[in-house]
Amino acid sequence: MVRWGLVIDLDKCTACQACVVACRVENNVPIGGEEEVRKERAIFWNQFFSEIHGEYPNVRLHMFPRPCMHCEDPPCVPVCPVDATYKDKDGRVLVRYDKCIGCRYCMVACPYGARYFNWFTPEYGEGHGNHLNPDVVRDGEGWIVGPSPRPRGVVEKCTLCVQRIERAKEEGTPLGSEHEGGVVSACAQTCPAFAISFGDLEDPSSDVYRLSKDKRAFRLLEDLGTRPQVYYLSEG
Amino acid sequence: MESNTTGVSSALRPLAETTWRFRILVVLLFAVIGWALYAYSVQLSVGLGSTGMNAPAYWGVYIVNFVYLIGLSAGGVIVASLAYVFNLKEYKPIARIAELLAIMCLIMAMIFVTLDVGRPERLVNIVLFGNPWSPLVWDFIVIMIYLAICLVYGYLGTRSDIVAAMKAIPKRARLYRMLALWYTDVSPEARKKDERTLRIIAMAALPMAIALHSVTAWILGLMKAQPGWHTALLAPLFVASAIISGLALVVVATVASRRFLHVQIPDALISRLGRFLVWLIPIDFYFAFAEIITIQYGREPAQFSTLQDVVLGPLAWSFWTEMIVGLLIPFLLIVRAKDRTPRRVGLAALLIFVGVFFKRIDIVIPSLIFRWLPFPPGGYTPTWVELSLMAGVYAFGVLFFVTFAKLFPLVPLEREHEPEAAEEAPHAEALLAEG
Ligand code: SF4
Ligand code: SF4
């Protein structure tokens, strides 16, 4: 069994947010525009957070990217009335964009705010619009789960770059950060500081397996019992 | 069957006549509905971005109204079926109004859900691919069963009066025959059979009404991501406020029908309903208090911050409106028995009815706006599209109600040979004991 996951080393992260940009391009994430960003309707499959702890002069700035956690026990999955969002056999939580009715119940159920709604018909800036990712990924039943532009009125979120992984499996390319030239998610590939590792959490020889057992490893909102498959390594 | 001819025809007269005031009302209602249809065309062509919803206010007034109307629907039926199950004859005059309102609210609630989804054309997926773990699917199933019960209940309870109207107003005879589903036998035996079925359905309606509102509460209450909802108290609290708001709606509709549609309902009945309301208000207070003290004392951060948003945050006006205008003032208005005139009871009921709407706002919105991760603070203001659609759905509701008020008598007609209910009472109790 495979269980794809990420480990994000916050000690290495420089907060450059290249992962956020790479994700947008790889996955055809639409641009909301300034006005809609202000109204909290922007879409970020991987969203960057900065948080100030403490009070002057004892302040600490925490910054971290937040993809979907691909929870092992995902609260977003059971609530979906039409089975449009599901946990696949590789441990990813995916959305069937052509099945979703847009009720947004899964968004209400996700504690991480990792799900985003298409309030409008997706729009891309000129540069981005001319270079959309042409991939289409379908699940076993033929529903679309891959990066083709989503229709208006459905939910979308991080897929751990399902299109890359599925293609690598077809072509027999090695997968995971531990392999030289191994296929990884767009965020992991782009990170100039090598802060993000991608791989199979079940495989003892993988980077993510080893790092997830590190004593610095933690997961977001662990108390909620969602058991994320995205680990962070705390800043020292 | 011998019907009391003079009584019947005087009770049926308003059905056949329409005043100019009534016509103006209907025209106005159609105008509001027309405007709402325009707003919906905007929402469909632009997307849900034309509403005020956003992240984290994933849901807005549509869902607030959905929850509210489900409560109203459940509450009315709980009262109506109690009247049947326990054979409380004096409450029977309002049973039909309660039933009609329940059906109306249910239809309105379903419209609101349809307005809320991003891809309404895919709603059929719920039937095709329904996921048995989703509380939304549970709710869908319960709503369907409940609607069926209400329709059968409404049909059987009204059938003999529809037949009477068919005889009294010949020009609408075909319509009435259709409404009676071509079953026009009103012999005492047939009516007795109706009554017996009715009582059984009333017994089924009671648990279904409670289930309906509990399941609706669980749509929210089972979400551990939303600390403001994630409490076992939510379902009982919803049922309590459903009963009070449903009853209040029945009272408002009864008082209004008396005044504007000249429906005959005795003063004594209204003051008795007022007494019911007085008893129910403290229960609502009690639940609110139990909730607040638990959170306040424990100060568990997530819940505590939601509570603070409810009572002190930007939507605090809604909470305090509910507490003061929706509960305290109505309580003071009718707490003394001698104050329970129809006018006062009607006013108190109106305040309660509106107040519970604010309660639904402060249950749904502030909890949603809470976030676990350091997102920028959220907010929610409905847009004209949402408000227009809301007005349209309510206009549709009123239209639905007055249409039926014109089609058949809102209060069961008096008959000389009322099938003797008293002799059936032990039977009902026996059934209750079994079930
Ligand atoms: S992070 Fe949210 S969207 Fe992703 S699997 Fe967990 S609950 Fe679902
Ligand atoms: S918004 Fe779509 S994916 Fe989410 S619960 Fe509703 S139907 Fe399922």
DSSP string covering B376-400, please?
A: PPP-----HHHHHHHHHHHHHHHHH
Nearest CA in chain A to B62: A103
Neighbouring CB atoms inside 10 A of A50's CB total 10
Q: Do B119 and A100 touch (CB under 8 A)?
A: yes
Instruction: Report whether pLDDT(B328) > 60.
Output: yes
Alpha-carbon gap, residue A152 to B46, rounded angstroms: 9
Percent of chain B with pLDDT over 70: 92
Question: Does residue B28 lie in a domain region?
Answer: no
B427 domain residue, yes or no: yes
Instruction: Note if the bond before B56 is cis, omega within 30 degrees.
Output: yes
pLDDT digits 0-9 by tens, A78-106? 999 999 999 999 999 999 999 999 999 99
Q: How far is the CA of B97 from the centre of ligand 2 (A)?
A: 37
Q: Can you give the length of chain B in residues?
A: 435
Minimal Cα–Cα distance from A208 to chain B, Å? Answer: 24
3-state SS record for B319-350: HHHHHHHHHHHHHHHHCCHHHCCHHHHHHHHH
| ipTM, two decimals | 0.92
Q: What pTM did the predictor assign?
A: 0.92
State CA A89 to chain mean position distance. Answer: 17
Q: How far apart are CA B386 and CA B60, in angstroms?
A: 9
Mutate to test the pocket of ligand 2, among A43, A86, A93, A95 (most ligand atoms within 8 A of CB): A95
The Cα B201–Cα B156 span in angstroms is 10
- Give the pLDDT confidence score for residue B8 in this predicted structure: 58
Separation between Cα atoms, residue B331 and residue B326, nearest integer Å: 9
- Nearest CB to B122; choose among A75, A101, A152: A101
In a domain, B90, yes or no: yes
Segment 375-404 of chain B within 8 Å of chain A by CB:
375-376, 378
Question: What does the pLDDT look like over A138-197, one tens digit per residue?
Answer: 999 999 998 999 999 999 999 999 999 999 999 999 999 999 999 999 999 999 999 999
What distance in Å separates the CA atoms of residue B242 and residue B237, rounded to the nearest whole number? Answer: 8
B interface test, pick of A41, A119, A219, A222 with most B CB neighbours within 10 Å? A119
Phi and psi at residue A185, in whole multiples of 5°?
Answer: -65, 160
> Over A199-231, what HEC string results?
EECCCCCCHHHHHHCCCCEECCCHHHCCCCCEE
Residues of A in contact with B135 (CB under 8 A): 79
Q: Which of A108, A116, A154 sits opposite B223 (nearest CB)?
A: A108
Whether B289 has a pLDDT exceeding 90, the answer reads yes
For B82-173, strand residue ranges (E) read: none
For B183, the domain range is 2-18+53-380+406-434
Helix or strand holding residue A47 (H, E): strand A47-53
| Strand residues in A83-202 grouped as ranges (E) | 85-87, 93-95, 116-117, 155-156, 196-200
Question: Which of residues B365 and B420 earns the better pLDDT score?
Answer: B365
Q: Is A75 on the interface with B (CB under 8 A)?
A: yes
Name the one residue in this structure whose structure tokens are 């005492």: B188
**Is the pLDDT assigned to residue B433 strictly greater than 80?**
no
Segment 175-234 of chain A within 8 Å of chain B by CB? 220-221, 224-225
Q: How far apart are CA A210 and CA A199, in angstroms?
A: 10
> Is pLDDT of B161 > 90?
no
**Residue with CA nearest ligand 2 atom 5:** A80
Q: Using the beta-carbon criterion (under 8 Å), do A117 and B118 form an inter-chain contact?
A: yes
Amino acid code (one letter) for A222: E
Number of Cβ within a 10 Å radius of residue B397: 19
Non-local CB neighbours of B148 within 8 Å, separated by 6+ positions: none
Q: Which residue has the tokens 């305290």?
A: B328
Q: CA-to-CA distance for B395 and B397, rounded, in angstroms?
A: 5
* Maximum Cα–Cα distance across chain A: 57
**Cβ neighbours for B99, distance < 8 A, ≥ 6 positions apart:** B76, B77, B80, B150, B153, B154, B157
Residue B339 lies in a domain: yes
Question: How far apart (Å, rounded) are the C-alpha atoms in residues B315 and B330?
Answer: 22
Q: Which atom of ligand 2 is nearest to the CA of A109?
A: 5
Å from B111 to nearest chain A CA? 14
Q: Does B119 touch chain A (CB under 8 A)?
A: yes
Domains of chain A: 4-233 (3.30.70.20)
- Which atom of ligand 1 approaches the CA of B225 most closely? 7
Q: Which two tokens stand for residue B239?
A: 């049922």
Chain B CB contacts of A102 below 8 Å? 48, 117-119, 122
pLDDT surpassing 60 at residue B157: yes
* Residue A203 near residue A182, CB atoms below 8 Å: no
User: Residue B289 contacts by C-beta under 8 Å, 6 or more apart in sequence?
Assistant: none
Helix (H) or strand (E) holding B229: none
Query: Is any atom of ligand 2 closer than 6 Å to the C-beta of A78?
Result: no
Q: How many domains does chain B have?
A: 1
Task: Say if A124 is an interface residue toward chain B (CB within 8 Å).
Answer: no
Residue B172 lies in a domain: yes
pLDDT value of position A161 = 96
Q: Does A113 sit within 8 Å of B55, measured CB to CB?
A: yes
Cα distances (Å, whole numbers) of residue B435 to A59, B199, B207: 64, 13, 11
Comparing CA positions, the residue from B251, B171, B202 lying closest to residue B82 is B202
Residue type, B272: R
> B255 C-alpha vs ligand 2 centroid, how far in Å?
43
Would you call B127 an interface residue with chain A, using a CB distance cutoff of 8 Å? no
Alpha carbons B271 and B275: distance in angstroms, whole number: 6
Question: Which residue's alpha carbon is at the smallest distance from atom 2 of ligand 2?
Answer: A100
CB count, 10 Å around CB of B25? Answer: 15
A78 interface with B at CB cutoff 8 Å: yes
Residue-level pLDDT at B9: 62
Distances in whole angstroms, Cα of residue B228 to Cα of each of A168, B59, B85: 44, 15, 36
Nearest-by-CA chain B residue for A222: B372
Q: Which two tokens stand for residue B409?
A: 């008598």
Note whether A82 contacts B373, CB cutoff 8 Å: no
Between chain A and chain B, the number of residue pairs with CB atoms below 8 A apart is: 136
Is the residue at B395 inside a domain? no
d(CA B174, CA B243): 37
C-alpha count within 13 angstroms, C-beta hemisphere, residue A175 = 25
Ligand 1 centroid to Cα of residue B56, in Å, is: 15
Q: Of A184, A176, A138, which is closest to residue A160 (Cα–Cα)?
A: A184
CATH number of domain containing B414? 1.20.1630.10
Give the chain A residue nearest B59 (alpha carbons): A104
**Cα A76–chain centre separation:** 14
Ligand 1 pocket, residue A6 CB under 6 Å: no
Distance A74 CA to ligand 1 centre (A): 6
Return the H-helix or E-strand segment holding A232: strand A230-233
For residue B26, being part of any structural domain is answered with no
Distance CA A47, CA A123 (A): 19
Residues 6+ apart with CB under 8 A from B379: B57, B314, B369
Q: State pLDDT tens for residues B55-93.
A: 999 999 999 999 999 999 987 788 777 777 777 777 878
Query: Which of A45-59, B13-27, B132-146, B232-246 has the lowest average pLDDT?
Result: B13-27
Contact indicator for B330, B281 with CB cutoff of 8 Å:
yes
| CB-CB neighbors (< 8 A) of B58 in chain A | 104, 107-108, 117
Taking the Cβ of residue B134 and every Cβ of chain A, the question of whether any pair is shorter than 8 Å is answered with: yes
pLDDT at B421: 43
pLDDT tens per residue, range B97-122: 888 999 999 999 999 999 999 999 99
